[in-house]
A and B are shown apart, each in its own frame.
Chain A
Amino acid sequence: MRLIDLEELDPLTLGATLLGNGGGGDPYQAKLMAHQAINDFGPIKLISADELPEDALVVTIAVLGAPTVIIEKIPSGQLYADAVRALGSYLGQEIAAILPVEVGGMNTLVPLMVAAELGLPCIDADGMRRAFPQIEMTVFTLAGISASPVALADEHGNTVIVVSKTNQIAETLIRNASMNLGLANSFASYSMTAGTARTVAIQGSLTYATEVGRLLRAIQGGTGSWEDLYAFTGGRTLFEGKIVDLDRRTTSGFARGTVVIEAFANGSSTMRIEIQNEMLLAIEDGVTVLTPPDLICMVDHETAEPITTEQLAYGQRVRVIGMPCAPEWKREGMMEVVGPSAFGYDVEYIAFEGEAQ
């Protein structure tokens, strides 16, 4: 066990922003929530799943809603605590720890706040080690773990319990319920035993994000290098250039878009990135070079500050980074859950080749 204090929030937030792949919501606000929770309740216990009894019950917690609503109606700790309590009460069991569902974007920090609020430890593991837009897009789904029952809560203490046959249907049902609950909600799901979490979750995700944040901060401060970051993540620079085209549209609830980057060195070379909340496909001069679940991250070329898809602007000078996904993704069923086809792209998965290969 170790304690997460205020100092650790900064690198963790930066790492989470990069691992958000441009989506996952802005972790800045979630950092403020975690900051306030640590001030109010003290440092948060971060444990590995091994430190809990085999049959202890753990649940994931995350925010659900629309980013534009969430920046106005900041979800409070109570709201998350309500969802966890509602799920515990439905299951008739005490909840022993909080497990992040994703480490990437604002949901990286939210479980820490909830753990502080409830006086529970948070497990250093998750179900994605990046951000994805839908709750079934987890290694838990790959392992056959049910997201349901899901408890959804609003700021007034209203809760909805959803019991569904598949994780995809759970996604649809809670998304619809959220629309009636004001679009700034929390949900608790994927209840499992600590023993199960040990075998199915991506271990060490929060520590991984913190280290990514530290390495990136060192680059920003001039004391680190991209080589150090790539040695740690297995990533590499995919492209460096200037944004010359940006197209955004909303279809079926997603913020979809396409961004085209022109190389600094050679103006006739371009990279096109397809976006559905997160950056998902990278196509260099017509050839697909990176596909989900591997990661596409974008940073400002001068400051190395991660750029979220909402911040994309014509003329920005950017570095596009590719990183391999967590090895836990590489199992049977990956294509159906998070491969290119799961997002409606008619391309084959391409195993990402980092600097190391």
Chain B
Amino acid sequence: MIKDLRIGIDVGGTNTDAVVVDNQGTVVAATKAATTPDPFDGIRAALEQVLVGVEKDRIGQAMLGTTHPANAVIQRRSLQRVGTLRLAAPATVGVRPGAAWPADLLAAIMGPVSIIRGGNNYDGSEISPLDENAVRAFAGEIAGVVEAIAISAPFSPASHDHELRAAEIIFEELGPNFAVSLSHRVGALGLLERENATILNASLLGVARGVVRGFDAALTQNSLDVESFLTQNDGTLMSAEEAVQLPVLSLGSGPTNSMRGASSLAQLSDAMVIDVGGTSADVGILVDGFPRESASAIEVGGVRTNFRMPDLISIGLGGGSLIGETPDGVTVGPDSVGYRVSTDARVRGGSTLTLSDISVRGGRLQGFGDPALVESVSEDTVRQALAWVDSQIEIMVERMKASKHVLPLIAVGGGSHLVPDEVAGVSEVVRPPNHAVANAYGAAIAEASGSIDQVYRYGEQGRESSLEEARWAAVDAAVRAGADPAAVRVTSINEVPLTYVPGEACRVQVKAAGPLLR
């Protein structure tokens, strides 16, 4: 049997979406199930529904996008205690690990902390030789006290021998299964932000194991024998084994999946995307098929990290947003009934007036509940609520636009019926087929990727030859991650000159991606 199908699943705040896609990218089946308090119940239900009438033997891979690890951080739930070792002395002691963390997160996560001798300079030379005895001493300090260790060192994205050696010593001292998180695998340049991400990553290792186990169990229960993957912040995939090691890289995958899915469903690589869910609406912009990334530092649960996440504007506007009728006029949101919209909305026999009811009454949404149940809602209320929706969408789109060039707007998500057919400042509103499951579609079509982040000296090596080397290194990393060597391509190159460094030193970040090799 040819394995020519794959499953994409996205666990959102309101719905868990699932799609089955063939190798041409055509949607074979799609479904939405309510997200449940235990998200794996929703995943199991969505899987079961989407597989009706699909030949299971043809399915080769399953991709999951989930907010589970992100919620664990935000809610300070199921996080492991972490020992933090920085290999850098006598440099970097001016700011200790955990500086500027919210107190409750520190209390939940931070175990013993030490800055010991080690680490590298920008040119690869050692700041100090690694103090192996200090690593052993730290292992003794954390034994029985914490469940994981985070190890960081200056310039480790370029020179990671010290981090690797320190991990080896930890394994020697605490056993080969001790949970170790190394900063060079987690993030890019910027020691404090990378170290923060590494500590968060270490604290999430238990959650990650739970996610992967739960996902695999849901697949097994549905008699699926497939490779499983999780989606990352940049819209590319990591294998389940990698996800167990690097859960922090999945923290922002939701919006990316939605935008990548929208791009592919609409066959547009340069456009704006609006994703309207049950609770909120996000607007982002696609450049060459990928979301434009935010330039500012990303905070996760109050901790500064240096992840690249999509540049988004979000507001509380969704199908479940509550409508309030006051003497001063109609108010919308920000509270929402979320996934309960399918039972609580008036058109579904509930008692709560939501934006979905307004949309039905105003003629934007068809086939959802019984329109007769909202006939009593006044036309004035409908007009005011929809005027608010339209002006909010217009403002978000205007704020997101990159230039005066007019772009199309792709409307996706379960609440996208709220988006009017005409929006000022956009060329057209595109509603691609299967737009309601764009998130899951984005997960299903996600590609394997690889990246590098290194300092090159153009003065010695030449710019062209440096960039060529960097491109190859990124392509090689993508192929190692599972990308088809014949179809892998460089998706971004970022050069940041190092001021005051001789020899025209330049920090080069390159990312490559390609479809999975079948």
| Interface positions of A (Cβ within 8 A of B) | 28-29, 32-33, 35-36, 65-69, 71-79, 113, 155-157, 175, 178-179, 182-184, 242, 244, 248-250, 253-255, 262, 267, 277, 302, 305, 310-317
Contact = CB atoms under 8 A, between A and B. Distances in A.
Given A250-B506, A314-B402, A68 B90 contact: no
Nearest to A312: B295
Contacts of B296: 305, 311
B94 A36 contact: yes
16 contacts: A32-B95, A35-B100, A68-B499, A73-B91, A73-B121, A73-B154, A74-B92, A175-B500, A179-B502, A182-B91, A183-B121, A249-B497, A250-B506, A253-B500, A253-B501, A310-B496
A15 B439 CA distance: 41
Contacts of A277: 499
B295 A71 contact: no
Given A68-B122, A302-B399, A74 B190 contact: no
Contacts of B90: 76, 78, 155-157
Contact of A242 (B95, B190, B304, B403): B403
Contacts of A302: 399
A33 B94 contact: yes
A77 B94 contact: yes
Contacts of B99: 32, 35-36
Given A32-B100, A184-B91, A313-B295, 16 more contacts: A32-B99, A36-B99, A66-B505, A67-B499, A73-B88, A73-B191, A74-B91, A74-B191, A75-B91, A78-B90, A179-B500, A248-B497, A250-B499, A253-B502, A267-B404, A314-B402
A157 B90 CA distance: 9
Nearest to A117: B94
Contact of A315 (B127, B285, B495, B502): B285
Contacts of A249: 497
Nearest to B193: A71
Contacts of A77: 93-94
A302 to B, nearest CB: 7
A72 B122 contact: yes
B33 interface: no
A113 B93 CA distance: 13
Contacts of B46: none
Contacts, number: 132
A182 B90 CA distance: 12
Contacts of A179: 500-502
A74 B500 contact: no
B155 to A, nearest CB: 5
B200 to A, nearest CB: 17
Contacts of B122: 66, 68-69, 72, 183
Contacts of A69: 121-122, 498, 501
B96 interface: yes
Nearest to B297: A28
Contacts of A156: 90
Interface in B493-514: 495-502, 504-507
Interface in B472-518: 495-502, 504-507
A73 B502 CA distance: 18
B504 A315 contact: no
Nearest to A316: B295
B95 A68 contact: no
B51 interface: no
B240 interface: no
B9 to A, nearest CB: 32
A250 B91 contact: no
A155 B507 contact: no
Interface in B85-124: 88, 90-96, 99-100, 119, 121-122
Nearest to B155: A72
B192 interface: yes
Nearest to B455: A68
Contacts of B192: 29, 32, 71, 74
A66 B100 CA distance: 24
B76 interface: no
Output the residue of B192, B295, B505 with the most chain A CB within 10 A.
B295
A28 B306 CA distance: 14
Nearest to B400: A315
